[in-house]
């Protein structure tokens, strides 16, 4: 391999790894409540640099600034407990103001293969059971790639945190076309509905910013993959 080819390959590898970091970051925010350790990481010099680099993309700036402003206020146990209550009320309990983090609650497996154009209200009305087809499909994807959901995360495999973590894996292991197909079929088919519901029910606003950032990042990343 020539030196030019080696440099190109290294650049592509670093690019893929950088994208994977973003997906893992988003996954971590949906996986569990924000901890003091995570706040410390994200407000450190390295964390600030990471968030600021994302904010350079104009469509991500507002969401990143919103997240940074909320992180700056997470300086006490009380503030962390309040945010944990927001997380629990949104994603861990079933109620009028909760938001399902499971893909199968929005679309079924057939719709994933053939992206639906139905409205969010129609999808929500026709909810699919938890641990349904999409959970099974995601479990197969994980198994085929010698991956598994951590034992301390007792959630179905179609949870948004699992899907985002899986995309982080394919960022460095699959070709751009395969990455794009997976993102379009298994996340973009329902992420807009999910984000809309988070914005309706998250009065603390932190997860509004996180959901908005996730959707906006996916738009940026799919455009990048289309032009890759």
More confident residue, 59 or 5: 59
Structural domain that includes position 68: 3-226
At residue 2, the pLDDT reads 41
77 HSE (CA, 13 A, CB side): 0
Q: 21 and 28 in contact (C-beta within 8 Å)?
A: no
CB 190 within 8 A of CB 107: yes
Instruction: Indicate the burial class of 2 (C-beta count within 10 angstroms; 0-12, 13-18, 19 or more).
Output: exposed
CATH number, domain with residue 187: 1.20.120.1820
Domain count within the chain: 1
At residue 8, the pLDDT reads 43
Give the pLDDT band of residue 134 (cuts 50, 70, 90). confident
For residues 116 and 189, is the Cβ–Cβ distance under 8 A?
yes
Mean pLDDT of 207-211: 98
Are 195 and 214 in contact by the 8 Å Cβ rule? The answer is yes
Amino acid 127: pLDDT: 44
pLDDT at 9: 47
pLDDT at position 85 over 80? yes
Q: Is the pLDDT of residue 126 over 60?
A: no
pLDDT of residue 3: 41
How far apart are the C-alpha atoms of 86 and 70, rounded to whole Å? 13
Contact criterion met (CB below 8 Å) for 146 and 171: no
| pLDDT tens, residue by residue, 5-55 | 444 445 568 899 999 999 999 999 999 999 999 999 999 999 999 999 999
Query: What pLDDT does residue 11 have?
Result: 56
Q: What percent of the chain clears pLDDT 90, i.e. is strictly above it? A: 68
**Distance in angstroms (rounded) separating the CA atoms of residues 191 and 38:** 24
Q: How far is CA 7 from the centre of its chain?
A: 30
Mean pLDDT highest for which of 3-12, 121-130, 143-152, 176-185?
Answer: 176-185
Helix segments in the chain, DSSP class H: 3-31, 36-43, 45-55, 61-72, 77-87, 109-113, 120-125, 133-144, 160-173, 176-186, 191-201, 206-226
Predicted local distance difference test score (pLDDT) of residue 130: 61
Exposure string of 137-155, with b = 16+ CB inside 10 Å and e = fewer, is bbbebbeeeeeebeeeeeb
What's the rounded mean pLDDT across residues 133-154?
78
pTM: predicted TM-score of the whole model, two decimal places: 0.85
């Amino acid at each position: 391999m020539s030196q030019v080819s080696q440099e190109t390959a290294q650049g592509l590898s670093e690019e893929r790894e950088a994208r994977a970091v973003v997906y893992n970051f988003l996954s971590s925010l949906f996986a569990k409540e924000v901890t003091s350790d995570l706040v410390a990481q994200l407000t450190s010099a390295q964390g600030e640099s990471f968030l600021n680099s994302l904010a350079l993309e104009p469509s991500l700036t507002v969401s990143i600034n919103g997240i940074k402003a909320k992180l700056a206020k997470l300086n006490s146990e009380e503030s962390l407990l309040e945010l944990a209550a927001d997380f629990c009320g949104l994603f861990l309990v079933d109620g009028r103001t909760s938001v399902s983090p499971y893909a199968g609650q929005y679309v079924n497996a057939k719709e994933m293969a053939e992206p639906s154009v139905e409205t969010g209200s129609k999808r929500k009305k026709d909810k699919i059971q938890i641990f349904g087809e999409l959970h099974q499909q995601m479990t197969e994807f994980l198994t085929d790639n010698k991956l598994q959901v951590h034992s301390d995360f007792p959630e179905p495999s179609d949870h948004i945190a699992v899907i985002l973590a899986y995309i982080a894996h394919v960022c460095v292991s699959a070709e751009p076309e395969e990455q794009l197909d997976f993102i379009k079929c298994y996340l973009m088919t329902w992420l807009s509905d999910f984000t809309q519901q988070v914005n309706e029910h998250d009065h603390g606003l932190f997860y509004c910013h996180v959901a908005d950032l996730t959707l906006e990042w996916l738009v940026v990343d799919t455009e990048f993959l289309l032009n890759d």
